[in-house]
């Protein structure tokens, strides 16, 4: 296979992952992925994309607007990110029921199918037909395709086809085993992690950078010590889903495997990045994951209408660069990145996730990069702006025009700072489980 932008490098296998002989044998303590085949670029990156992903559309008024995906793909194309050497394409297929059942109850899958075909109008007990998750035709296929893309990406990383993969349509982190929640029907992040475990991985780290708590992924692996879930989010006191506090630390067989940093409303780049750097690299170093999975919801941006954080595009770009560093330093450079929340579809989401894709290719975009006029014109039309109308809200560069800076944790703990208070609460709760000192590590 030649890694050109339009090469399909994988589709989600339809068979039950448990049938893989390697999953049934006793894994070595340090099970490693299959090495990349000879001749493959060591920086090979896959992007999950197909226009069929735009079918995940609850309604014309719903904040989870598929135009954000369309604009991200088009901006990545317009800036040449998808044409870089070593960048390939994963065409996502609809995941089979067997793949879905690796993380979802069969009864729930049948319920999603039933509302998808119109057999029943809603299933409120399972979160289907609520204001957050209204039913739409083919909801099963649209949701299963997103999950299929993340599972195929995980498979490609584990077999050595690629080192990095990005599914910016994914990141549907609220869905639980048996219930839809928070705009999420099937949990693609959890399914990707489960595929890695089924293929022999012994340690997978998941870092959730969405403004909302990554509760679905956490709950699915709550009692599994092979999975470290870290979520850095706005406190559940002020934001859905109302969970994810420092003392939520994992099940009895996996204490310390769930990590939550619940930040106060109004936290911006400096506070979010300080919290991230005070918790994530220390735990990744101690956990020693074989693969890193990250969720890059960009709803922590100050323009986002659904949250109370105050980050910039530059701050979220920095998180993508950090994730790339974590993968290299702690996970053998094996990295799967997904999208997630983000409800400013014309200004924030396309720029943030294009920065993410660029970071995954190993060639970050400069924040001063000018956005092509053709993309701006397309975005204006998509936003309903007519000819000659002022292009308010349609950005012209890949920057918000801010300088990103944060205080390193090493400079000292400030007990009067609300951000530092929540950082220390998490460090005190979690670090001892990993042999770390909450004050000095």
Q: Nearest Cα to 102, choosing from 54, 154, 142, 55?
A: 154
Round to whole Å and give the CA distance between 427 and 260.
Answer: 10
What is the β-pairing status of strands 164-167 and 87-90? unpaired
Tokens 């109004």 identify what position?
266
Give yes or no: 301 in active site: no
- Which residues are registered as beta bridge partners of 164? 45, 335
Q: What is the DSSP letter of 295?
A: E
Q: Nearest Cα to 196, choosing from 164, 242, 150?
A: 150
Q: What is the DSSP letter of 122?
A: -
Round to whole Å and give the CA distance between 403 and 91.
Answer: 37
Give 158's Cβ-side CA count (13 Å radius).
24
Torsion over CA of 325, 326, 331 and 337, rounded to 10 degrees? -90
Do the beta carbons of residue 357 and residue 76 sit within 8 Å?
Answer: yes
* C-alpha dist (Å) from residue 28 to 23, 33, 200, 202, 330: 11, 12, 9, 9, 19
Q: Which residues contact 376 (CB under 8 A, 6 or more apart)?
A: 391, 394, 395, 396
Q: Which of 174, 212, 233, 296 is the catalytic position?
A: 174
Query: What residues act catalytically?
Result: 174
């Amino acid at each position: 296979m030649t890694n050109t932008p339009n090469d399909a490098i994988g589709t989600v296998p339809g068979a039950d992952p448990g049938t893989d002989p390697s999953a049934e044998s006793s894994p070595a303590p340090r099970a490693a992925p299959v090495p990349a085949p000879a001749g493959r670029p060591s920086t090979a990156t896959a992007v999950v994309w197909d226009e069929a992903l735009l079918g995940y559309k609850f309604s014309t008024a719903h904040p989870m607007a598929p135009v954000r995906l369309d604009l991200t793909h088009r901006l990545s194309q317009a800036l040449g990110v998808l044409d870089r050497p070593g960048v390939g394409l994963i065409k996502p297929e609809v995941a089979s029921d067997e793949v879905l059942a690796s993380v979802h109850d069969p009864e729930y899958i049948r319920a999603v199918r039933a509302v998808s075909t119109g057999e029943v109008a809603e299933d409120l007990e399972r979160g289907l037909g609520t204001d957050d998750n209204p039913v739409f035709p083919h909801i099963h296929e649209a949701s299963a395709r997103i999950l299929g893309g993340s599972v195929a990406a995980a498979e490609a990383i584990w077999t050595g086809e690629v080192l990095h993969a990005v599914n910016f349509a994914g990141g549907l982190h609220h869905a639980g085993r048996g219930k839809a929640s928070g705009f999420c029907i099937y949990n693609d992040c959890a399914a990707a992690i489960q595929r890695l475990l089924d293929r022999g991985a012994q340690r997978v780290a998941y870092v959730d950078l969405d403004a909302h708590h990554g509760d679905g992924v956490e709950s699915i692996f709550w009692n599994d010590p092979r999975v470290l879930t870290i979520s850095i989010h706005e406190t559940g006191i002020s934001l859905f889903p109302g969970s994810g506090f420092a003392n939520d630390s994992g099940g009895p067989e996996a204490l310390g495997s769930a990590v939550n940093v619940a930040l106060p409303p109004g936290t911006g780049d400096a506070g979010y990045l300080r919290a991230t750097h005070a918790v994530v690299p220390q735990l990744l170093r101690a956990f020693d994951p074989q693969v890193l999975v990250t969720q890059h919801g960009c709803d922590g941006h100050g323009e986002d209408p659904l949250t109370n954080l105050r980050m910039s595009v530059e701050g979220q770009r920095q998180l993508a660069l950090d994730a790339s560093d974590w993968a290299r330093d702690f996970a053998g450079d094996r990295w799967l990145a997904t999208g997630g929340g983000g409800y400013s579809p014309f200004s924030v989401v396309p720029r943030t996730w294009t920065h993410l894709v660029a970071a995954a290719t190993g060639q970050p975009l400069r924040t001063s990069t000018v956005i092509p006029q053709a993309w701006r014109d397309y975005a204006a039309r998509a936003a309903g702006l007519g000819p000659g109308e002022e292009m308010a809200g349609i950005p012209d560069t890949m920057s918000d025009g801010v300088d990103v800076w944060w205080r390193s944790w090493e400079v000292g703990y400030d007990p009067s700072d609300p951000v530092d208070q929540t950082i220390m609460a998490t460090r005190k709760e979690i670090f001892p489980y990993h042999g770390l000192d909450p004050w000095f590590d």
